[in-house]
Amino acid sequence: MQRTPAFALSALALTGALACGLAQAQASEPVIGLITKTETNPFFVKMKEGATAEAKKLGAKVVSAAGKTDGDNAGQVTAMENLIAAGAKTILITSSDAKAIVPAIKKAQARGVMVIALDSPTEPADATDALFATDNYKAGELIGQYAKAALAGKKPVIAMLDLHPGHPVGAQRHNGFLKGFGLQANDAKSNELSRPAEVVCMADSFGDRAKGQTGMENCLQKNPDINLVYTINEPAAAGAYNALKAAGKDKNAIIVSVDGGCAGIADVGKGVIAATSQQYPLRMAAMGVAAGVEYAKTGKKVSGYTDTGVTLIAAKPMAGVDGKDVKTGTDLCWGAK
């Protein structure tokens, strides 16, 4: 089987010459585009690894691009236009802006390109042909259930470090966490963040460690009695822990999160994070590439939502809460171990 390299390019660096070359290459092997939010987040690094491995196995070529930062919709739009010019018949995308990316997706589909959302749904969700992703509401519910058991009857004083306004993934995890804890929460279809009285502070972390730390510092200024911290992902959790430790309150608060990267699982083992919901980016990417190859060969498109799985990982199990231990999380994690 011919082994071909995958290309990792910034959105603006996909030159016309390369596009021409790839268009010629597609005659012998399907070209599948992969657009992630950034090129540096370990989650998306693993996603590209999964796409590349599956493409090699199936005789396809993966061309990847990304926004400059999380939230860079313009960069993702440029990437999509360049990938269409490069001959991609399927584009896999983790959208930075669930609404703003939709017109670009519609243009691609009008050119006969199948577009599959990975990890992050668009708004509306049916703007893409299919979605391969974690059940983010369930991921939130799992850590909410764990947090309630871990607090052992104490009155919750909650800080929530979210993604950024309006993103479905952020809303689903946020509201799922509250639902799992047994508090008032919107359902999985809502992109509005619920805020029951027990939530004393909410801040946007953009999934970033430094912004997570700043958000937690601000929350502690508003209420120093916070005893439970929800974070959108593990980098934000690490930032929250730094703020708590600097304030001498790291022993007073439980941190729960979502992702399952190797650094995050290690933090679970160290007690920095009490529990996290692990998701599987490699699986999402492999399924997307396989669907793209099938479309190129037969014209058959995939549709609807496919749940790629989520598992609660905790160092200390809680009665009545289903989960796995740190060893299991480490075996299945992504990123550097």
Concatenate the DSSP letters of all residues of 261-279 into one string: BHHHHHHHHHTSSSEEEE-
Cβ-Cβ contacts under 8 Å for 221 (sequence gap 6 or more): none
**Using alpha carbons only, what angle is made at residue 113 by residues 52 and 206, rounded to the nearest 5 degrees?**
60
Share of the chain above pLDDT 70, in %: 92
For 152-195, the pLDDT digits (tens) are: 999 999 999 999 887 889 999 999 999 999 999 999 999 899 99
Residue 1 has pLDDT above 70, yes or no: no
The predicted model gives 50-54 an average pLDDT of 93
Least confident segment among 31-45, 152-166, 199-213, 284-298: 31-45
Q: Mean pLDDT over all residues of the chain?
A: 91
Burial of 94 (0-12, 13-18, 19+ CB in 10 A): buried
Residues 196/230/162/134 CA torsion (nearest 10 deg): -110
**Using alpha carbons only, what angle is made at residue 150 by residues 147 and 153, rounded to the nearest 5 degrees?**
100
Residue 4 has pLDDT above 70, yes or no: no
Residue 12 has pLDDT above 70, yes or no: no
Residue 254 has pLDDT above 60, yes or no: yes
- Give me the pLDDT at residue 18, please: 47
Least confident segment among 39-43, 263-267, 320-324: 39-43
The H-or-E segment that residue 242 falls in is helix 234-246
**Comparing C-alpha atoms, which of 131, 85, 108, 161 is closest to residue 287?**
131
The predicted model gives 230-252 an average pLDDT of 97
Q: How many angstroms from the chain centroid is the CA of residue 215? A: 20
Cβ-Cβ contacts under 8 Å for 261 (sequence gap 6 or more): 42, 43, 46, 234, 333, 334, 335
Write out the two tokens for 146: 């764990």
- Give me the pLDDT at residue 25, please: 47
Residue 26 has pLDDT above 70, yes or no: no
- Give me the pLDDT at residue 108, please: 97
The H-or-E segment that residue 43 falls in is helix 42-58
d(CA 143, CA 324): 12
Longest CA–CA span in the chain (Å) reads: 64
Cβ-Cβ contacts under 8 Å for 82 (sequence gap 6 or more): 11, 14, 19, 65
Write out the two tokens for 75: 């960069």
d(CA 63, CA 34): 6
Q: What is the pTM of this model?
A: 0.81
Give whole-number Cα distances, 313 to 153, 166, 266, 310, in Å: 22, 27, 11, 10
The predicted model gives 126-154 an average pLDDT of 97
Cβ atoms of residues 290 and 58 within 8 Å: yes
| Gap between the terminal Cα atoms of the chain | 30
Report which DSSP code applies to 310: -
Cβ-Cβ contacts under 8 Å for 278 (sequence gap 6 or more): 259, 260, 265, 310, 311, 312, 313, 329, 332, 333
Share of the chain above pLDDT 90, in %: 79
Residue 16 has pLDDT above 70, yes or no: no
The predicted model gives 83-97 an average pLDDT of 94
